[in-house]
Structure 1
Amino acid sequence: MPDYRIVLVEPRFEESIGFVARAMKNFGLTSLRLVKPVTDFGHNGRMRGGHAQDVLDSSTIHESLLDALDGVDLSIGTTAQRARSSANLLRRPMTPRELSEVLAQQAGTVGIILGREGTGLNNHELSLCDAIVTIPSSEAYKTLNLSHAAAIIFYELFTSKSKDAEEGLATDEIRDTILRYLSDSMTIAGVEDYKIGLTNRAVKNVLGRSAIRRREANILAGALRRISNALHESRVLDRSMSAGEPVSLPLER
């Protein structure tokens, strides 16, 4: 089972912080990170926290989402808004149950990111996430209360936990390396910039939803590195032959 970090982005009400901490305690979660809270935290919030005072006492405040995600291997954003168009790759979500099944036998650190009470996470914040979760709900009123949504997600993570964690999750560094080699190869192949961006977003979604393991990611990164190197060498060879220059290429890089 992963080590979970719960991240609240700009919570407006201290009661929300207390209720989320209480839900965390109910389902065995202990690490709470607050990004630029809009409210001061006091008596009312602690009252809502019930017996989760230890969660509140150990919570940390951060100036940015990236700072709060430091040390996190896989970041999961939450949203009530599904994509209206198949072209919107930012909002292609899993359900909490699908997420829990993917993560049940994984090891590593996973961040669950919850947005503002009124507006949730914006597109930029979602773009920083490796995968997105949406709770299925009635079309008549799709948006859940923040702490209610948190409790549903925490419940699913709790009930699907496995005692036999497999190999750790791929780190951000490895996934970024995969995307970098992919972008590099597409650039050499003459793919338009906007298509490179769309492809990277799609691949990032796939990597996030699959919770790719470290060994798998290393193998994929290695394969893409070889492809990128081969394309670079081919381009150097083509330019040198066109100029009539002698060519010397390394056997392996």
Structure 2
Amino acid sequence: MPDIRVVVVGPKFEGNVGAIARCMANFGVEDLVLVNPCEIGETAMNRSKHGDYILRNARTVTSMEEAVEGCLLVVGTSGTVTKGDKNYARIPVDVREFAMDCRGYNEKIAFVFGREDIGLLQTELNRCDVLITIPADDKYPVMNLSHSVGVILYEMFQANRRPVRCEPCDGREKELLFQFFGDLLEEIDYNEARRESTTVMFRRMMGRAIPTKYEYNTIMGVFGDAARIIRNYQESGTKWGGK
């Protein structure tokens, strides 16, 4: 199974945090990071049962950026599903589909869970590489925080017992891909007002796909060809038609 970190942003009830630690112990996950949590005391310890060691070793930080530091893939979670294509920041992947795509993934993955009442803020969702959701009845699709952690870790645990997919690209390759994409937008003079949203959209696409090394090399080849053509335009004195 991938090296998993559970990040909980702004939990309001210590009992939920304790139950999360218990779920983590069930599936062999030990890295817990809490962002600006409520006070963690006896109730949380009692709920954690044999996962109390996870709770004792949990790190507390003041920002999501600190919480996901060192993680190659940042996975947001949400019970709110967008049906259309325009609000790409809230277009999720089914948790089981995502878990199957992660087979053979050896890098650090952060699963980020939001507050019990409002979940993750839009700015926090934008930092995520991919958004996943747990299918539930439309009448009441939002699950309890600790239950959500349990279901997601179960799916990751189960998927790891099945045949491994082709080797995914690593952290260095992923960041180089994003850098090339940003450089490409710069070279074609892409609309400044849309640049940030387009970059987030591209990050989400790659997060959902979890590209293999072969797919990564193919995409980088396309970017390389595009950069070469743009340079030829520039060297010939022809203005590139960006918008």
Pairwise CA distance, 1:206: 1.9
Q: Secondary structure of 2:33's match?
A: strand
Matched AA of 1:135: I
Distance 1:178 1:192, change over 3 A: same
Pairwise CA distance, 1:199: 3.5
CA contact (8 A) 2:104 2:168 kept: no
**Cα distance in 2 between the residues matched to 1:45 and 1:126:** 27
Distance 1:134 1:86, change over 3 A: same
Correspondence 1:5-154 to 2 at 5 A: 5-37=5-37, 39-154=38-153
For residues 8-39 of structure 1, the C-alpha deviation after alignment (integer angstroms, 9 at most, x for no partner) is 111111111101001111111111011111x1
Q: Secondary structure of 1:127's match?
A: helix
**Cα distance in 1 between the residues matched to 2:175 and 2:235:** 26
CA contact (8 A) 1:170 1:217 kept: no
**Cα distance in 2 between the residues matched to 1:89 and 1:230:** 30
- Count of aligned positions: 238
CA contact (8 A) 1:94 1:134 kept: yes
What's the RMSD between the two structures over aligned residues?
Answer: 2.3
Pairwise CA distance, 1:214: 5.2
What residue ranges of structure 1 are gaps of 5+ in the alignment?
Answer: 241-253
Matched AA of 2:107: G
Pairwise CA distance, 1:122: 0.9
Pairwise CA distance, 1:164: 7.0
Distance 1:162 1:215, change over 3 A: farther
**Cα distance in 2 between the residues matched to 1:22 and 1:113:** 17
Is 1:204 aligned to 2:203, yes or no? yes
Q: Secondary structure of 1:152's match?
A: helix
Pairwise CA distance, 1:58: 1.5
**Cα distance in 2 between the residues matched to 1:22 and 1:131:** 25
**Cα distance in 1 between the residues matched to 2:232 and 2:161:** 46
**Cα distance in 1 between the residues matched to 2:174 and 2:32:** 25
**Cα distance in 2 between the residues matched to 1:211 and 1:189:** 26
**Cα distance in 1 between the residues matched to 2:168 and 2:41:** 38
Pairwise CA distance, 1:124: 0.7
Q: Secondary structure of 2:69's match?
A: coil
> Residue in 2 aligned with 1:245?
none
Pairwise CA distance, 1:55: 0.8
What residue ranges of structure 2 are gaps of 5+ in the alignment?
Answer: none
CA contact (8 A) 1:185 1:231 kept: no
CA contact (8 A) 1:17 1:45 kept: yes
Pairwise CA distance, 1:192: 2.2
Pairwise CA distance, 1:233: 4.8
> Residue in 1 aligned with 2:234?
235
Pairwise CA distance, 1:144: 0.7
**Cα distance in 2 between the residues matched to 1:14 and 1:42:** 7
**Cα distance in 2 between the residues matched to 1:214 and 1:107:** 13
**Cα distance in 2 between the residues matched to 1:214 and 1:115:** 32
Pairwise CA distance, 1:220: 3.4
CA contact (8 A) 1:105 1:162 kept: no
Pairwise CA distance, 1:215: 6.3
